[in-house]
Structure 1
Amino acid sequence: MTARSPHTQTDAKTLPQAIRPAVRRRNSRAVALAVSLLVPCAGLAQGGLTPPAEVTPEIIALRGCVEGVSHPSGQPLSVEDQGAACDDHVALAEDAIGAIFFRGLHFFDHGITDAHRAQAFDDFSRVIDAGGDVPSAAYANRAWLHVRHLGDADAALADIDNAIALAAETPRSGHFERRAYILTAKAQRDNEPALIGLALDDLDRALALRPDSRTALRMRDALTGYLRDLR
Protein backbone atom coordinates (compact mmCIF):
# COMPACT_ATOMS: atom_id res chain seq x y z
CA MET A 1 0.00 0.00 0.00
CA THR A 2 2.91 2.35 -0.52
CA ALA A 3 2.30 3.23 -4.16
CA ARG A 4 1.52 6.85 -4.86
CA SER A 5 -2.00 7.71 -5.83
CA PRO A 6 -2.91 10.05 -8.68
CA HIS A 7 -5.31 11.68 -6.23
CA THR A 8 -2.46 12.82 -3.96
CA GLN A 9 -0.36 15.93 -4.56
CA THR A 10 3.38 15.58 -3.86
CA ASP A 11 3.37 18.84 -1.93
CA ALA A 12 0.30 18.07 0.15
CA LYS A 13 0.28 19.78 3.52
CA THR A 14 0.15 17.74 6.67
CA LEU A 15 -3.21 16.82 8.06
CA PRO A 16 -4.60 19.50 10.35
CA GLN A 17 -4.38 19.04 14.09
CA ALA A 18 -8.12 18.34 14.29
CA ILE A 19 -7.73 14.94 12.62
CA ARG A 20 -4.39 13.87 14.01
CA PRO A 21 -4.28 10.67 15.94
CA ALA A 22 -5.48 11.96 19.24
CA VAL A 23 -8.24 9.91 17.73
CA ARG A 24 -10.90 11.01 20.16
CA ARG A 25 -11.23 14.19 18.13
CA ARG A 26 -12.23 13.95 14.52
CA ASN A 27 -13.09 17.54 13.83
CA SER A 28 -12.09 17.73 10.18
CA ARG A 29 -15.56 17.96 8.71
CA ALA A 30 -14.65 16.39 5.38
CA VAL A 31 -12.76 13.42 6.73
CA ALA A 32 -15.15 12.92 9.63
CA LEU A 33 -18.05 12.85 7.18
CA ALA A 34 -16.34 10.20 5.07
CA VAL A 35 -15.58 8.13 8.14
CA SER A 36 -19.20 8.33 9.30
CA LEU A 37 -20.65 7.09 6.03
CA LEU A 38 -19.38 3.53 6.09
CA VAL A 39 -21.47 1.11 8.11
CA PRO A 40 -20.99 -2.62 8.60
CA CYS A 41 -22.37 -4.65 5.74
CA ALA A 42 -23.83 -8.11 6.07
CA GLY A 43 -21.50 -10.85 4.99
CA LEU A 44 -24.04 -13.29 3.52
CA ALA A 45 -27.70 -13.31 2.56
CA GLN A 46 -29.51 -15.27 5.23
CA GLY A 47 -32.88 -15.80 3.55
CA GLY A 48 -34.08 -18.19 0.93
CA LEU A 49 -34.33 -21.36 3.01
CA THR A 50 -37.31 -23.65 2.51
CA PRO A 51 -38.43 -24.68 6.01
CA PRO A 52 -38.33 -28.49 6.39
CA ALA A 53 -41.23 -30.36 7.91
CA GLU A 54 -39.05 -32.23 10.40
CA VAL A 55 -38.52 -30.89 13.89
CA THR A 56 -35.08 -31.94 15.12
CA PRO A 57 -32.53 -30.21 17.36
CA GLU A 58 -30.27 -29.74 14.33
CA ILE A 59 -32.97 -28.05 12.24
CA ILE A 60 -34.15 -25.89 15.16
CA ALA A 61 -30.57 -24.72 15.71
CA LEU A 62 -29.89 -24.18 12.01
CA ARG A 63 -32.99 -22.07 11.38
CA GLY A 64 -32.55 -20.19 14.63
CA CYS A 65 -28.96 -19.27 13.81
CA VAL A 66 -29.13 -18.66 10.06
CA GLU A 67 -32.67 -17.27 9.70
CA GLY A 68 -33.19 -15.87 13.19
CA VAL A 69 -36.54 -17.63 13.61
CA SER A 70 -37.88 -20.39 15.80
CA HIS A 71 -38.81 -23.68 14.17
CA PRO A 72 -41.41 -24.66 13.17
CA SER A 73 -43.39 -21.51 14.07
CA GLY A 74 -41.16 -19.11 12.13
CA GLN A 75 -41.42 -16.49 14.88
CA PRO A 76 -38.46 -14.07 15.02
CA LEU A 77 -35.87 -14.54 17.75
CA SER A 78 -34.19 -11.89 19.86
CA VAL A 79 -30.49 -11.20 19.39
CA GLU A 80 -29.68 -13.26 22.48
CA ASP A 81 -31.95 -16.15 21.51
CA GLN A 82 -30.51 -16.22 18.01
CA GLY A 83 -27.04 -16.27 19.53
CA ALA A 84 -28.06 -19.22 21.71
CA ALA A 85 -29.35 -20.99 18.61
CA CYS A 86 -25.99 -20.37 16.98
CA ASP A 87 -24.25 -21.93 19.97
CA ASP A 88 -26.45 -24.99 19.50
CA HIS A 89 -25.74 -24.98 15.76
CA VAL A 90 -21.98 -24.98 16.45
CA ALA A 91 -22.40 -27.91 18.84
CA LEU A 92 -24.62 -29.96 16.53
CA ALA A 93 -23.53 -29.19 12.97
CA GLU A 94 -21.32 -31.56 11.01
CA ASP A 95 -19.54 -28.52 9.58
CA ALA A 96 -18.50 -26.84 12.82
CA ILE A 97 -16.41 -24.17 11.08
CA GLY A 98 -19.33 -23.21 8.85
CA ALA A 99 -21.55 -22.94 11.93
CA ILE A 100 -18.94 -20.81 13.69
CA PHE A 101 -18.87 -18.52 10.66
CA PHE A 102 -22.65 -18.06 10.79
CA ARG A 103 -22.48 -17.30 14.51
CA GLY A 104 -19.84 -14.68 13.77
CA LEU A 105 -22.08 -13.17 11.08
CA HIS A 106 -24.99 -13.01 13.50
CA PHE A 107 -23.08 -11.15 16.19
CA PHE A 108 -21.32 -8.95 13.62
CA ASP A 109 -24.58 -7.90 11.97
CA HIS A 110 -26.84 -7.75 15.03
CA GLY A 111 -24.61 -7.65 18.11
CA ILE A 112 -25.20 -4.76 20.49
CA THR A 113 -22.64 -5.33 23.25
CA ASP A 114 -18.87 -5.56 23.51
CA ALA A 115 -19.29 -9.24 24.34
CA HIS A 116 -21.19 -9.77 21.09
CA ARG A 117 -18.46 -8.06 19.09
CA ALA A 118 -15.79 -10.05 20.90
CA GLN A 119 -17.64 -13.25 20.01
CA ALA A 120 -17.81 -12.20 16.34
CA PHE A 121 -14.10 -11.39 16.34
CA ASP A 122 -13.23 -14.74 17.92
CA ASP A 123 -15.47 -16.64 15.50
CA PHE A 124 -14.01 -14.98 12.40
CA SER A 125 -10.52 -15.64 13.76
CA ARG A 126 -11.35 -19.33 14.25
CA VAL A 127 -12.64 -19.56 10.68
CA ILE A 128 -9.50 -17.89 9.34
CA ASP A 129 -7.17 -20.00 11.48
CA ALA A 130 -8.87 -23.19 10.30
CA GLY A 131 -7.60 -22.49 6.79
CA GLY A 132 -9.12 -24.11 3.76
CA ASP A 133 -11.72 -22.20 1.77
CA VAL A 134 -11.99 -19.11 3.98
CA PRO A 135 -14.85 -16.76 3.01
CA SER A 136 -13.61 -13.27 2.18
CA ALA A 137 -16.27 -11.94 4.56
CA ALA A 138 -14.40 -13.48 7.51
CA TYR A 139 -11.41 -11.25 6.75
CA ALA A 140 -13.50 -8.23 5.76
CA ASN A 141 -15.64 -8.34 8.89
CA ARG A 142 -12.70 -8.94 11.20
CA ALA A 143 -11.02 -5.95 9.54
CA TRP A 144 -13.99 -3.80 10.50
CA LEU A 145 -13.87 -5.00 14.10
CA HIS A 146 -10.12 -4.31 14.20
CA VAL A 147 -10.47 -0.71 13.09
CA ARG A 148 -13.79 0.28 14.64
CA HIS A 149 -13.73 -1.49 17.98
CA LEU A 150 -10.08 -2.32 18.67
CA GLY A 151 -8.48 0.76 17.09
CA ASP A 152 -5.93 -1.33 15.16
CA ALA A 153 -5.86 0.09 11.64
CA ASP A 154 -2.72 -1.87 10.69
CA ALA A 155 -4.29 -5.24 11.48
CA ALA A 156 -7.47 -4.07 9.77
CA LEU A 157 -5.56 -3.20 6.61
CA ALA A 158 -3.88 -6.62 6.53
CA ASP A 159 -7.26 -8.33 6.87
CA ILE A 160 -9.04 -6.26 4.23
CA ASP A 161 -6.15 -6.82 1.82
CA ASN A 162 -6.65 -10.56 2.31
CA ALA A 163 -10.39 -10.20 1.75
CA ILE A 164 -9.84 -8.33 -1.51
CA ALA A 165 -7.31 -10.92 -2.67
CA LEU A 166 -9.69 -13.80 -1.89
CA ALA A 167 -12.48 -12.12 -3.85
CA ALA A 168 -10.25 -11.19 -6.80
CA GLU A 169 -12.32 -13.18 -9.30
CA THR A 170 -15.57 -11.61 -8.11
CA PRO A 171 -14.52 -8.28 -6.56
CA ARG A 172 -16.91 -6.62 -4.13
CA SER A 173 -17.48 -2.90 -3.95
CA GLY A 174 -18.02 -3.12 -0.20
CA HIS A 175 -14.52 -4.47 0.33
CA PHE A 176 -13.02 -1.45 -1.43
CA GLU A 177 -15.27 0.93 0.52
CA ARG A 178 -14.12 -0.68 3.74
CA ARG A 179 -10.45 -0.40 2.78
CA ALA A 180 -11.03 3.28 1.95
CA TYR A 181 -12.36 3.75 5.47
CA ILE A 182 -9.36 1.96 6.99
CA LEU A 183 -6.91 4.02 4.94
CA THR A 184 -8.67 7.18 6.09
CA ALA A 185 -8.34 6.04 9.70
CA LYS A 186 -4.62 5.43 9.15
CA ALA A 187 -4.28 8.86 7.56
CA GLN A 188 -5.73 10.38 10.71
CA ARG A 189 -3.51 8.37 13.00
CA ASP A 190 -0.27 8.73 11.07
CA ASN A 191 -0.75 12.25 9.67
CA GLU A 192 -0.30 10.88 6.12
CA PRO A 193 -2.32 12.72 3.44
CA ALA A 194 -1.07 10.27 0.79
CA LEU A 195 -3.29 7.63 2.35
CA ILE A 196 -6.33 9.77 1.56
CA GLY A 197 -5.34 9.51 -2.09
CA LEU A 198 -5.15 5.73 -1.81
CA ALA A 199 -8.57 5.73 -0.17
CA LEU A 200 -9.93 7.68 -3.13
CA ASP A 201 -8.41 5.11 -5.48
CA ASP A 202 -10.36 2.41 -3.66
CA LEU A 203 -13.55 4.43 -3.89
CA ASP A 204 -13.00 4.69 -7.64
CA ARG A 205 -12.70 0.89 -7.72
CA ALA A 206 -15.87 0.53 -5.67
CA LEU A 207 -17.78 2.86 -7.99
CA ALA A 208 -16.54 1.01 -11.06
CA LEU A 209 -18.25 -2.06 -9.61
CA ARG A 210 -21.32 -0.29 -8.24
CA PRO A 211 -21.75 3.19 -9.75
CA ASP A 212 -24.82 3.99 -7.64
CA SER A 213 -23.20 3.32 -4.24
CA ARG A 214 -24.24 6.29 -2.13
CA THR A 215 -21.66 5.42 0.49
CA ALA A 216 -18.78 5.49 -2.00
CA LEU A 217 -20.07 8.63 -3.73
CA ARG A 218 -20.42 10.58 -0.50
CA MET A 219 -17.08 9.39 0.87
CA ARG A 220 -15.39 10.35 -2.40
CA ASP A 221 -16.94 13.82 -2.33
CA ALA A 222 -15.88 14.36 1.28
CA LEU A 223 -12.29 13.21 0.78
CA THR A 224 -11.90 15.05 -2.53
CA GLY A 225 -13.02 18.22 -0.78
CA TYR A 226 -10.51 17.61 1.98
CA LEU A 227 -7.60 17.22 -0.46
CA ARG A 228 -8.75 20.29 -2.36
CA ASP A 229 -8.56 22.30 0.86
CA LEU A 230 -4.93 21.21 1.31
CA ARG A 231 -3.77 22.87 -1.91
Structure 2
Amino acid sequence: MQKPLDRREIFKASAAAIAAAGLSQTLASNASATDTVAESGALPENATVLFQGDSITDAGRDRKRGKANESRSLGHGYPVMIAGALLKENAGKNLQVFNRGISGNKVPDLAARWEEDCIGLKPDVLSILIGVNDIWHKINGRYDGTVETYEVGLKALLEETMEKLPNVRIAICEPFVLRCGAVGDNWFPEFTERLEAARRVTSQLSLEQVAFQEMFDEAVKVAPPQYWAHDGVHPTLAGHALMAETWRKTLNI
Protein backbone atom coordinates (compact mmCIF):
# COMPACT_ATOMS: atom_id res chain seq x y z
CA MET A 1 0.00 0.00 0.00
CA GLN A 2 1.14 3.54 -0.68
CA LYS A 3 1.55 6.06 2.13
CA PRO A 4 -1.91 7.20 3.32
CA LEU A 5 -3.13 10.57 2.15
CA ASP A 6 -2.30 13.59 4.31
CA ARG A 7 -5.82 14.86 4.85
CA ARG A 8 -4.51 18.20 6.07
CA GLU A 9 -3.04 18.83 2.64
CA ILE A 10 -6.29 17.79 0.94
CA PHE A 11 -8.28 20.34 2.91
CA LYS A 12 -5.62 22.99 3.46
CA ALA A 13 -7.23 25.61 1.26
CA SER A 14 -10.62 23.97 1.02
CA ALA A 15 -12.84 26.81 2.24
CA ALA A 16 -11.78 29.11 -0.57
CA ALA A 17 -11.84 26.32 -3.13
CA ILE A 18 -15.33 25.23 -2.10
CA ALA A 19 -16.68 28.73 -2.58
CA ALA A 20 -14.97 29.07 -5.95
CA ALA A 21 -15.61 25.64 -7.42
CA GLY A 22 -18.47 23.97 -5.63
CA LEU A 23 -16.25 21.68 -3.53
CA SER A 24 -14.81 19.82 -6.47
CA GLN A 25 -11.24 21.04 -6.13
CA THR A 26 -10.91 20.25 -2.43
CA LEU A 27 -11.01 16.51 -2.69
CA ALA A 28 -8.08 15.64 -4.95
CA SER A 29 -6.50 12.32 -4.06
CA ASN A 30 -3.58 10.05 -4.78
CA ALA A 31 -5.37 7.01 -3.37
CA SER A 32 -3.61 3.68 -2.95
CA ALA A 33 -4.60 0.55 -4.86
CA THR A 34 -4.37 -3.21 -4.68
CA ASP A 35 -3.61 -5.88 -7.24
CA THR A 36 -7.35 -6.20 -7.92
CA VAL A 37 -7.83 -2.59 -9.07
CA ALA A 38 -4.92 -1.03 -10.90
CA GLU A 39 -3.19 2.05 -9.53
CA SER A 40 -4.33 3.94 -12.61
CA GLY A 41 -7.88 3.66 -11.33
CA ALA A 42 -8.99 1.24 -14.03
CA LEU A 43 -11.46 -1.44 -13.01
CA PRO A 44 -10.81 -4.88 -14.49
CA GLU A 45 -13.36 -6.67 -16.62
CA ASN A 46 -16.11 -8.47 -14.68
CA ALA A 47 -15.29 -6.56 -11.49
CA THR A 48 -17.83 -6.50 -8.67
CA VAL A 49 -18.26 -3.38 -6.54
CA LEU A 50 -20.20 -3.74 -3.28
CA PHE A 51 -21.56 -1.02 -1.00
CA GLN A 52 -22.30 -2.02 2.59
CA GLY A 53 -23.67 -0.14 5.57
CA ASP A 54 -26.80 1.25 7.18
CA SER A 55 -29.60 3.60 6.04
CA ILE A 56 -27.18 6.13 4.58
CA THR A 57 -26.04 3.47 2.12
CA ASP A 58 -29.43 1.73 1.87
CA ALA A 59 -30.99 5.03 0.73
CA GLY A 60 -34.43 3.53 0.15
CA ARG A 61 -33.33 0.72 -2.15
CA ASP A 62 -35.74 -2.09 -3.06
CA ARG A 63 -34.31 -4.93 -0.96
CA LYS A 64 -36.63 -7.50 -2.57
CA ARG A 65 -34.81 -7.12 -5.86
CA GLY A 66 -31.15 -6.86 -4.88
CA LYS A 67 -29.94 -6.92 -8.48
CA ALA A 68 -26.71 -5.42 -9.74
CA ASN A 69 -26.70 -2.26 -11.84
CA GLU A 70 -30.38 -1.52 -11.28
CA SER A 71 -31.47 1.85 -9.92
CA ARG A 72 -34.28 0.41 -7.79
CA SER A 73 -31.83 -1.98 -6.17
CA LEU A 74 -29.19 0.70 -5.62
CA GLY A 75 -31.39 3.29 -3.88
CA HIS A 76 -31.33 7.05 -4.32
CA GLY A 77 -28.07 7.89 -2.53
CA TYR A 78 -24.34 7.96 -3.17
CA PRO A 79 -24.11 4.26 -4.29
CA VAL A 80 -26.41 4.81 -7.28
CA MET A 81 -24.57 8.00 -8.21
CA ILE A 82 -21.24 6.18 -8.15
CA ALA A 83 -22.68 3.16 -9.95
CA GLY A 84 -24.06 5.26 -12.78
CA ALA A 85 -20.73 6.94 -13.39
CA LEU A 86 -18.73 3.71 -13.18
CA LEU A 87 -21.06 1.89 -15.55
CA LYS A 88 -20.97 4.75 -18.05
CA GLU A 89 -17.20 5.03 -17.97
CA ASN A 90 -16.56 1.27 -18.05
CA ALA A 91 -19.05 0.23 -20.71
CA GLY A 92 -18.24 -3.20 -22.11
CA LYS A 93 -16.43 -4.42 -18.97
CA ASN A 94 -19.44 -6.20 -17.47
CA LEU A 95 -19.16 -4.46 -14.10
CA GLN A 96 -21.53 -5.58 -11.35
CA VAL A 97 -22.42 -2.94 -8.74
CA PHE A 98 -24.43 -4.01 -5.69
CA ASN A 99 -25.89 -2.17 -2.71
CA ARG A 100 -26.41 -4.25 0.44
CA GLY A 101 -26.84 -1.46 2.97
CA ILE A 102 -29.71 -2.00 5.41
CA SER A 103 -31.36 0.75 7.42
CA GLY A 104 -30.73 0.53 11.15
CA ASN A 105 -27.72 -1.74 10.90
CA LYS A 106 -24.87 -1.69 13.38
CA VAL A 107 -21.62 -3.64 13.25
CA PRO A 108 -23.17 -6.80 14.82
CA ASP A 109 -25.92 -6.70 12.18
CA LEU A 110 -23.35 -6.65 9.40
CA ALA A 111 -21.55 -9.58 10.98
CA ALA A 112 -24.77 -11.61 11.17
CA ARG A 113 -25.39 -11.35 7.42
CA TRP A 114 -21.83 -11.02 6.15
CA GLU A 115 -21.43 -14.46 4.58
CA GLU A 116 -24.43 -14.00 2.32
CA ASP A 117 -24.33 -10.26 1.73
CA CYS A 118 -20.59 -9.85 1.28
CA ILE A 119 -18.41 -12.96 1.11
CA GLY A 120 -20.80 -14.74 -1.22
CA LEU A 121 -20.74 -11.85 -3.69
CA LYS A 122 -16.93 -11.97 -3.92
CA PRO A 123 -16.46 -8.23 -4.41
CA ASP A 124 -13.32 -6.81 -5.97
CA VAL A 125 -14.05 -3.46 -4.34
CA LEU A 126 -15.84 -3.32 -0.98
CA SER A 127 -17.02 -0.03 0.52
CA ILE A 128 -18.23 -0.01 4.15
CA LEU A 129 -19.94 2.86 5.96
CA ILE A 130 -21.07 1.83 9.45
CA GLY A 131 -21.12 3.36 12.90
CA VAL A 132 -23.77 6.05 13.33
CA ASN A 133 -26.44 3.61 14.55
CA ASP A 134 -23.96 2.11 17.00
CA ILE A 135 -24.20 5.37 18.93
CA TRP A 136 -27.67 6.63 17.88
CA HIS A 137 -29.40 3.46 19.07
CA LYS A 138 -27.44 3.66 22.31
CA ILE A 139 -28.60 7.24 22.89
CA ASN A 140 -32.17 6.09 22.23
CA GLY A 141 -31.81 3.27 24.76
CA ARG A 142 -32.08 0.47 22.19
CA TYR A 143 -28.47 -0.71 22.27
CA ASP A 144 -25.75 -0.96 24.88
CA GLY A 145 -22.65 -1.36 22.71
CA THR A 146 -19.55 0.58 23.71
CA VAL A 147 -16.81 2.21 21.68
CA GLU A 148 -14.75 -0.92 22.34
CA THR A 149 -17.61 -3.10 21.08
CA TYR A 150 -17.64 -1.11 17.86
CA GLU A 151 -13.89 -1.16 17.35
CA VAL A 152 -13.36 -4.84 18.17
CA GLY A 153 -16.36 -5.91 16.10
CA LEU A 154 -15.38 -3.85 13.07
CA LYS A 155 -11.80 -5.10 13.14
CA ALA A 156 -12.90 -8.73 13.46
CA LEU A 157 -15.29 -8.34 10.53
CA LEU A 158 -12.59 -6.84 8.35
CA GLU A 159 -10.00 -9.45 9.29
CA GLU A 160 -12.47 -12.19 8.38
CA THR A 161 -13.14 -10.49 5.07
CA MET A 162 -9.45 -10.13 4.25
CA GLU A 163 -8.85 -13.79 5.08
CA LYS A 164 -11.71 -15.07 2.92
CA LEU A 165 -11.26 -12.53 0.11
CA PRO A 166 -7.50 -11.88 0.04
CA ASN A 167 -7.60 -9.79 -3.13
CA VAL A 168 -10.48 -7.51 -2.21
CA ARG A 169 -9.87 -3.77 -2.10
CA ILE A 170 -11.57 -2.37 1.01
CA ALA A 171 -12.52 1.25 1.56
CA ILE A 172 -13.66 2.24 5.05
CA CYS A 173 -15.90 5.30 4.92
CA GLU A 174 -15.75 7.47 8.02
CA PRO A 175 -18.98 7.54 10.02
CA PHE A 176 -20.07 11.16 10.21
CA VAL A 177 -22.56 13.50 11.82
CA LEU A 178 -23.43 17.16 11.37
CA ARG A 179 -24.57 19.29 14.29
CA CYS A 180 -28.25 19.74 13.48
CA GLY A 181 -31.52 17.82 13.69
CA ALA A 182 -31.12 14.73 15.85
CA VAL A 183 -27.46 15.41 16.61
CA GLY A 184 -26.89 17.39 19.79
CA ASP A 185 -24.26 17.83 22.44
CA ASN A 186 -25.20 14.47 23.98
CA TRP A 187 -23.59 12.73 20.99
CA PHE A 188 -20.16 13.96 22.05
CA PRO A 189 -17.47 13.05 22.87
CA GLU A 190 -18.59 9.45 22.27
CA PHE A 191 -19.24 9.92 18.57
CA THR A 192 -15.76 11.35 18.14
CA GLU A 193 -14.34 8.36 20.01
CA ARG A 194 -16.12 6.01 17.60
CA LEU A 195 -14.85 7.96 14.61
CA GLU A 196 -11.33 7.68 15.97
CA ALA A 197 -11.86 3.94 16.48
CA ALA A 198 -12.82 3.55 12.82
CA ARG A 199 -9.71 5.46 11.81
CA ARG A 200 -7.51 3.26 14.02
CA VAL A 201 -8.87 0.05 12.53
CA THR A 202 -8.43 1.40 9.02
CA SER A 203 -4.82 2.32 9.74
CA GLN A 204 -3.99 -0.92 11.57
CA LEU A 205 -5.22 -3.01 8.64
CA SER A 206 -3.70 -0.70 5.98
CA LEU A 207 -7.05 -0.08 4.32
CA GLU A 208 -8.25 2.96 2.45
CA GLN A 209 -10.12 5.69 4.29
CA VAL A 210 -12.81 7.90 2.79
CA ALA A 211 -12.78 11.03 4.93
CA PHE A 212 -16.49 11.83 5.02
CA GLN A 213 -16.42 13.59 8.39
CA GLU A 214 -13.66 15.95 7.32
CA MET A 215 -15.45 16.47 4.02
CA PHE A 216 -18.64 17.60 5.76
CA ASP A 217 -16.66 19.69 8.25
CA GLU A 218 -15.42 21.68 5.27
CA ALA A 219 -18.78 21.72 3.52
CA VAL A 220 -20.57 23.43 6.43
CA LYS A 221 -18.26 26.41 5.95
CA VAL A 222 -20.13 27.06 2.71
CA ALA A 223 -23.71 26.03 3.53
CA PRO A 224 -25.40 25.19 6.86
CA PRO A 225 -25.45 21.60 8.16
CA GLN A 226 -29.10 21.10 7.18
CA TYR A 227 -28.17 21.72 3.54
CA TRP A 228 -25.99 18.60 3.58
CA ALA A 229 -27.87 16.36 6.04
CA HIS A 230 -31.34 17.46 7.09
CA ASP A 231 -31.33 15.58 10.41
CA GLY A 232 -27.59 15.61 10.99
CA VAL A 233 -27.25 11.97 9.90
CA HIS A 234 -29.00 11.30 6.59
CA PRO A 235 -27.56 13.25 3.65
CA THR A 236 -29.63 15.42 1.38
CA LEU A 237 -29.26 15.14 -2.39
CA ALA A 238 -26.36 17.59 -2.20
CA GLY A 239 -24.78 15.57 0.62
CA HIS A 240 -25.01 12.33 -1.31
CA ALA A 241 -23.54 13.98 -4.40
CA LEU A 242 -20.61 15.26 -2.36
CA MET A 243 -20.09 11.79 -0.86
CA ALA A 244 -20.08 10.20 -4.31
CA GLU A 245 -17.53 12.71 -5.58
CA THR A 246 -15.28 12.24 -2.57
CA TRP A 247 -15.52 8.43 -2.72
CA ARG A 248 -14.48 8.32 -6.36
CA LYS A 249 -11.61 10.75 -5.95
CA THR A 250 -10.32 8.93 -2.88
CA LEU A 251 -10.35 5.54 -4.61
CA ASN A 252 -9.34 7.03 -7.97
CA ILE A 253 -11.92 5.03 -9.89
Structure in which a larger fraction of residues adopt strand:
2
Q: TM-score range by the shorter chain?
A: under 0.3
Q: Report the TM-score, using the length of structure 1 for normalisation.
A: 0.28
TM-score norm. by structure 2 comes to: 0.26
- Give 1 or 2 for the bigger CA radius of gyration: 1
